[in-house]
A and B are shown apart, each in its own frame.
Chain A
Amino acid sequence: MSYQVGIIGAGPSGYTAAIYASRANLNTVLFTGLEPGGQLMLTSDVENWPGEEHGILGPELMAKLRTQAGRFGAEIKELSVTAVDLISHPKKLTLSNGTVAECESVIIATGASAKWLDVHGEAKLRGRGVSACATCDGFFFKGKNVAVVGGGDSAMEEANFLTKFASSVTVIHRSAEFKASKIMLTRAQNNPKISFKMNAKVVEVLGEDRVTGLKIENLIDQTSADLPFDGLFVAIGHFPNSAIFANQLTVDRKGYITVLTGTTQTNIPGVFAAGDVVDHLYRQAVTAAGTGCIAALEAERWISHGA
């Protein structure tokens, strides 16, 4: 298999790159990886996607982008990329079915994934009360008491969303200060069903077949206590999906791929990176789409001029 443009990732950034590259008549392939649709598959209403004046469901938006990319001839393959050789020419992508795709240029749009707490009991009880997706699982906690861990916008959003179902929501945050924007924080603070436990950390998830409680450590006096909860929603941020590229591309301290300012160019010519695998500041569907577009235009220019 050989292509002019190989795109890795199927979020707003990857699909937009596929729309632009295939519409420019470049022979384009997109590998979706394990989470086709990306983070938006876990959201409900997207209210700030321009043109969708009444908002659109995240999964619906992703289905539309996929169809649009396919319309101009991009091949969309439900495969993961397991290893890359970005320095050789053409560049080689090893796929989860064992085959290798050769690509003149590569656009990395692998995004970011939710972080887990990594404490005892969490993995065992995932899907049994431990969740990273309030919009998927909130429904099952009608009249229950749940905890949300985190202090950013996504934690506040999850907490607010969960009050539709749960009888109480406790936000557990390890500091006394929040990263969340003022509007999101105020909305949560004004919600009578939401309470806050600050300077506290979850050290264990309790329960056998389902979550029954959390062991919570008070970070000020180092005491810990077991408190009853029916559910735990983890919203402590994301990490960039850059591990398979990190030995060839320049990444920052946290693993985000470094690009030349104002472009999507990585340190290897012909390799471009776009969306949340680069951007830890804005992280919006529309900014990811924007950089995906730039990546496709830069790939096109690189293929035709070699620069």
Chain B
Amino acid sequence: MQHYNMNLTLKVWRQKDKNAAGGFETYQVKDISSEMSFLEMFDVLNERLIVEGKEPIAFDHDCREGICGMCSMVIDGRPHGPWEANTTCQLHMRAYKDGDTIVVEPWRANAFPVVKDLVVDRGSFDRIIQAGGFVSVNTGNAVDGNAIPIEKDNADAAFAAAACIGCGACVAACKNSSAMLFVSAKVSHLALLPQGEPERRQRVVNMIAQMDKEGFGSCTNTYSCEAECPKEISVTNIARLNREYLQASLK
């Protein structure tokens, strides 16, 4: 692909802290390479802001290789930008052309309060995991992972669900700010494996209870989450979550 440089107009959400009002600020960025990542463009802008003595734009990032789930920008209304099955760090500037205007906002959901600028607090996800997204194991020597035979279909489905990186794009994309895709991925991942079996019932009940407590909305099956998920987690997991929950409630 042909390399090119571009000048862009960015409208970025700036918010001093959790309690400040916040608003959009417009920035012009020049000579942005088409081979840069979206976050590298923000690095260039931030370096300039620092030189100018201004406060750089705060944004979350860590691995910058699409596997940690830290980056979290809503770009022109799309969590992680316009590309499918992609994180913000892996969105590259060749997605844009010279003269484009790009609007960048934080994840917006009451369960994800803005900490600063584009950084949100996703602690609500951590608390859902703490409520049941684990398996309890005895201490001692590590158990041979291959000692328990697992049906191939189940192992594959569990692995696909375990691909969830907990970035929260599902919540950001959902018109109801529902966390059902995230919770369903975590519940499915463990419910499909024999290691998850002993805590299967409490897990789903406790995780759903915590999810409701955190103020996420309810699922109305519009499936925006699946379309925006960088790891392509399927909404079939949500059906499984509903089934698990119904069975656990009836037991």
A binds B: no
Which residues of A approach B to under 8 Å, CB–CB?
none
Which residues of B approach A to under 8 Å, CB–CB?
none
